[in-house]
Amino acid sequence: MIIVYSCSKLYEQYAKISIDSVLKHNKNAQIVLVCQEKLDLPFEQITVQQDRQVLDGTIHPSWEGNAKLFFEQLPYDKIIYLGADTICQGDLSEMWNTECNYINACKTHAYGEKQAKELGIEYYINVDSMVMNLKALRVDNFCDKAFAKMNEAHSKVNLWCNEETMINYAFHDKIKLLPQKYNYAYERKYINPMPYSNAKIIHFIGRDKSAMLTYRY
């Protein structure tokens, strides 16, 4: 099982918590950090070459977010990608072993309904917990296809257009849904909420991540 994070110094303290939680429940997981600068974390660190960026003026226009669109460069055939602001509460073997032909991910919380409607798609996923078949992404020219759809996606949405929007819009028909327990947002509204204890991955979405620092897993 290969777990990849895309992380900067700004999120390093959160990444450490997330990685500790993953290894607590998945002792044989291989941790890989995609980063621009050296992090003070004892795991493999690699970078990706980015020759394009998501449109200026979008939310979170960071190198780390943009990096997801270039993951086909990574020297692996399959990964689980986790955001640094996630906490793992259990064994991820079932998530890892579920057949993945392209991308497996979870619907996001209630805000995604508006995004999906604006984009003209059935549902909207959150990209901070995904299984990615990188071999298939390379064959499909994932990066080129995502950026080819960027301006079209940007023209459809009023909220924002970031790498998440581009992935949803360009590859909606190739995304397989995972059970919500693999990406459950902390203190966000769901149509069918679940107890936090039932979630395998808790996601601390938003700017204020102080709750992640004290959350017990």
Domain extent, residue 69, equals: 2-214
Give the pLDDT score at 157.
74
Please give the tally of structural domains in the chain: 1
CB 160 within 8 A of CB 129: no
More confident residue, 120 or 61: 120
Residue 30 in 3-state DSSP? strand
Give residue-wise pLDDT tens across range 7-58: 999 999 999 999 999 999 999 999 999 999 999 999 999 999 999 877 655 5
Q: Which two tokens stand for residue 211?
A: 């709750």
The answer on pLDDT for 156 being more than 60 is: yes
Q: Which two tokens stand for residue 100?
A: 């993945």
- Using pLDDT thresholds of 50, 70 and 90, give the confidence band for residue 159: low
Give residue-wise pLDDT tens across range 53-102: 776 555 556 889 899 999 999 999 999 999 999 999 999 999 999 999 99
Give the pLDDT score at 160.
61
- For residue 100, the surrounding DSSP H or E stretch is none
Q: What's the helix, strand, coil split of the chain in %, to 5?
A: 40, 20, 40
Average pLDDT score over residue span 115-124: 93
Give the pLDDT score at 61.
64
Q: Strands, E, within 116-162: which ranges?
A: 125-133
Give the pLDDT score at 206.
86
Bridge pairing between strands 30-34 and 78-82: unpaired
CATH of the domain at 185: 3.90.550.10
Task: For residue 142, give the nearest of 101, 99, 86 by alpha carbon.
Answer: 101
Please state, as a whole number, how many other Cβ atoms lie within 10 Å of the Cβ of residue 46: 12
Give the pLDDT score at 54.
78
Task: For residue 131, give the nearest of 109, 100, 161, 93 by alpha carbon.
Answer: 100
Give residue-wise pLDDT tens across range 185-216: 999 999 899 999 999 999 999 888 999 999 98
The answer on pLDDT for 142 being more than 70 is: yes
Rounded CA-CA distance 85/7 in Å is 10
Instruction: Confirm whether pTM is higher than 0.75.
Output: yes
DSSP secondary structure code for residue 13 in this structure: H
Rounded CA-CA distance 30/43 in Å is 9
The answer on pLDDT for 116 being more than 70 is: yes
DSSP secondary structure code for residue 139 in this structure: H
Rounded CA-CA distance 186/89 in Å is 13
Task: For residue 83, give the nearest of 60, 99, 101, 100 by alpha carbon.
Answer: 60
Rounded CA-CA distance 166/158 in Å is 14
For residue 24, which phi and psi values (nearest 5 degrees)?
-60, -40
CB 199 within 8 A of CB 181: yes
In this structure, the chain runs to a length of: 217
